[in-house]
Every structure is written in structure tokens, then in C-alpha cells.
């Protein structure tokens, strides 16, 4: 018994010395004792998904500066901080009651006059937030629904297609994203890569949780051009 107690400080010291990169020191947090391995995996995937969402937001604003000017904030950084603040619940007053995929559709409708980037990102962030049960980190008694995560990944595929193809009555893209190669310059596909990382993280996490909990994911096949968004809010 005494030997076991003597080992505890050693274990805690080891945790304190192990940084994420292996090169820097990190402080042991007692709350980590309340997390299982799957909770830590979920934390990592959620963090990566929302880091990609922030990168996507910045790219969209830089490619479409006219939308950022509608935000009313003096700097792009201030706009990002406000839009991506989870305390707002991903709800924008200018969107009325529209959230999640409804907000995405509004952002890409021809008659919408507001900040399209804000509407698109608020809708995407809101959908993802629901997929992660509106939590920013996970502990032992938290349970994620793998079907929600899987459906969100498919919805991101649909949203990415709509984002790249939505046009106004004159045939102009509503939001500029990827740039095709010109004069032997490489194409800018960074938007697709960022969305691809988000989709990959959601798919991987959904299958990890499904395998661990012996749950079944209903897979769907769809044509992006005609697909409708899958439900995320009300899955039992």
C-alpha cells in the first residue's frame, strides 16, 4: 500500500514533464483524471475540427473582403473572435431563427444581403456544436452519438459543394473559394483541404466511437448536386 502511494507523486511528475510536442513542459491538470482514453481522443478531434473552421473562416474573409466589411468590426481578428466565440451558441441575430444547415442555405441563397461568410460559418459551427453535444471537452460519463458525427461529415461535403458552386442570377459565384491555376501557377485548393480535414476528423471519430461502443452507423450515398442535408439535431 505504501509503495503504491509513493508511486503517485512520480506518476504526476511524469505527467507534468510530458508536453504535447515532446519538447516543452506542461502542467498536469487534475481534471484529466476524469477522462477516459476515448474522451481525450474526442477532445483532440473536436479541437482540430474547430481550428480548421477558424482557418476556413479567415480564408473566406480574405478571399471575399466585401463580406468582412459588412461585419462592422475594425479588424479581421476581431471579426473572427466574435463569430467563433462558442459562448454565442453560434446564433447570429441577423439570421433570425435560422441555425445549423438552415443558416448555411441562407448564406448561399441569391437574395441574402447580409454577411454570407458569417452566416455560412455560424451555420457550420452550430451544426458541429450540436454534433459534439454542445460540449467543448469530454469526461467519463459523456457519450457522443457517432451517427451525428457521421451525418455532420456528409453535411460538410454537401456544404463544400454548394459553397463552390452557388451563383447569382448573372452566373457569378456568391462566395469565392478555390482559384484555378493560371500561367503555370499552382491552384489554390486550401479551402478544399481545410474542409477535407474537418470531414476526415469527423469520420474517424464517428467510427472510433461506434467500434468502441458496438454501435452501428447508417451509411448513405448521395449525389452532391442534389443531396439534402442530413439530420443532426434529433437522432435517437
Residue 183: what pLDDT?
52
Rounded CA-CA distance 76/108 in Å is: 21
Asked, for residue 140, whether it belongs to a domain, the answer is yes
Which residues have CB under 8 Å from 33's CB, separation 6+? none
Question: For the segment 37-72, what is each residue's pLDDT rounded down to a tens digit?
Answer: 889 999 999 999 999 999 999 999 999 999 999 988
Which of 79, 96, 53, 77 has its CA nearest to residue 196? Answer: 53
How does 95-106 read in b/e, with b if 16+ C-beta sit within 10 Å?
Answer: beebbbbbbbbb
Least confident window among 184-188, 194-198, 220-224: 184-188
Instruction: For residue 104, tell me if it sits in a domain.
Output: yes
Residue 1: inside a domain, yes or no?
A: no
Domain with 44, as residue range(s), is 35-212
Tell which wins on pLDDT, 25 or 216: 216
How many domains does the structure of the chain reveal? Answer: 1
Q: State the pLDDT at residue 34.
A: 67
Q: Would residue 79 count as lying in a domain?
A: yes
Whether 15 has a pLDDT exceeding 60, the answer reads: no
**159 in any annotated domain:** yes
Angle at 231 between CA 36 and CA 133, to 5 degrees: 30
The C-alpha cell 515532446 sits at 22
Amino acid at each position: 500500500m505504501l509503495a503504491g502511494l509513493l508511486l503517485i507523486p512520480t506518476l504526476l511528475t511524469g505527467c507534468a514533464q510530458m508536453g504535447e510536442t515532446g519538447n516543452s513542459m506542461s502542467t498536469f491538470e487534475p481534471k484529466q483524471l476524469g477522462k477516459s482514453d476515448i474522451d481525450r481522443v474526442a477532445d483532440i478531434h473536436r479541437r482540430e475540427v474547430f481550428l480548421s473552421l477558424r482557418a476556413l473562416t479567415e480564408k473566406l474573409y480574405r478571399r471575399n473582403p466585401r463580406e468582412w466589411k459588412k461585419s462592422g468590426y475594425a479588424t479581421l481578428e476581431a471579426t473572427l473572435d466574435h463569430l467563433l466565440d462558442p459562448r454565442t451558441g453560434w446564433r447570429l441575430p441577423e439570421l433570425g431563427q435560422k441555425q445549423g444547415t438552415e443558416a448555411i442555405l441562407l448564406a448561399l441563397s441569391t437574395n441574402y444581403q447580409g454577411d454570407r461568410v458569417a452566416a455560412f460559418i455560424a451555420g457550420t459551427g452550430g451544426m458541429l456544436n450540436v454534433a459534439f453535444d454542445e460540449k467543448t471537452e469530454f469526461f467519463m460519463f459523456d457519450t457522443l452519438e457517432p451517427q451525428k458525427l457521421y451525418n455532420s461529415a456528409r453535411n460538410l461535403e454537401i456544404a463544400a459543394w454548394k459553397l463552390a458552386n452557388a451563383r447569382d442570377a448573372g452566373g457569378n459565384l456568391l462566395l469565392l473559394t478555390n482559384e484555378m491555376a493560371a500561367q503555370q501557377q499552382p491552384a489554390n485548393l486550401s479551402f478544399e483541404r481545410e474542409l477535407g480535414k474537418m470531414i476526415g476528423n469527423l469520420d474517424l471519430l464517428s467510427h472510433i466511437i461506434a467500434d468502441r461502443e458496438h454501435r452501428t452507423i447508417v451509411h448513405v450515398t448521395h449525389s452532391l448536386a442534389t443531396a439534402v442535408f442530413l439530420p443532426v439535431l434529433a437522432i435517437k
